[in-house]
Amino acid sequence: MTDRTMLHDTFALEREYPVTPAAVFRAFADAELKRRWFGGDEGWTTISHGMDFRVGGAEHDEGRWDGPEGDSHVSRFDAVYHEIVESQRIVFTYDMRVDGTHLSVSVTSIELTPTVGGTLLTFTEQGVYFDGHEDPALRAAGTRDLLESLGRALTTA
């Protein structure tokens, strides 16, 4: 029998953006705006994407990443929205798979707080990582990259 493991990890990231909470919220809620910053790096090819941004709605994003070494991987993000308060918070769960291997299940909360200069976004993720397939530190680093991409999209829109 193969040993099966679970690793639990939580991380929280904060970013301040020079736009209103409503503008940050729209970047998550509007499918076209979200596609500008969520994924889409060089070497990324979208296979399928769908988004139903409402409580109980689902989102999926599947694509292939072709690396510089000629390696290729297919990743799939499947989410369900559980709580949405316009311009204030978003709570969802999601499964992450790469090449068909189930890496993790996470609960994510996004809080948007108005500041003098715009919006403070607090992103908290609680994850369960399966069988050593992913290092939680890499997930946090990838999320940091996504939040940087969001910032670029918000300031160049």
Tokens linked to 46 = 């979208």
pLDDT recorded at residue 43: 76
Q: For the packed helices 21-29 and 136-156, what is the interaxial angle rounded to 10 degrees? A: 110
Please identify which residue in the block is written with the tokens 């988004």. Answer: 51
Mapped onto helix, strand or coil, the DSSP state of residue 20 is coil
pLDDT recorded at residue 14: 98
Q: How far apart are CA 94 and CA 116, in angstroms?
A: 32
Q: Name the pTM for this structure.
A: 0.92
The torsion angles phi and psi of 4, rounded to 5 degrees, stand at -115, 135
pLDDT recorded at residue 36: 87
pLDDT recorded at residue 133: 94
For the domain 7-156, what is the CATH code? 3.30.530.20
Domain ranges of the chain: 7-156
Q: How far apart are CA 43 and CA 115, in angstroms?
A: 36
pLDDT recorded at residue 157: 60
The answer to whether the beta carbons of residues 76 and 96 sit under 8 Å apart is yes
Please identify which residue in the block is written with the tokens 């109980």. Answer: 56
Residues of the chain with pLDDT under 70: 1-2, 40-41, 157
Please identify which residue in the block is written with the tokens 């991409």. Answer: 149
Q: How many CA atoms lie within 13 A of 1 on its CB side?
A: 3
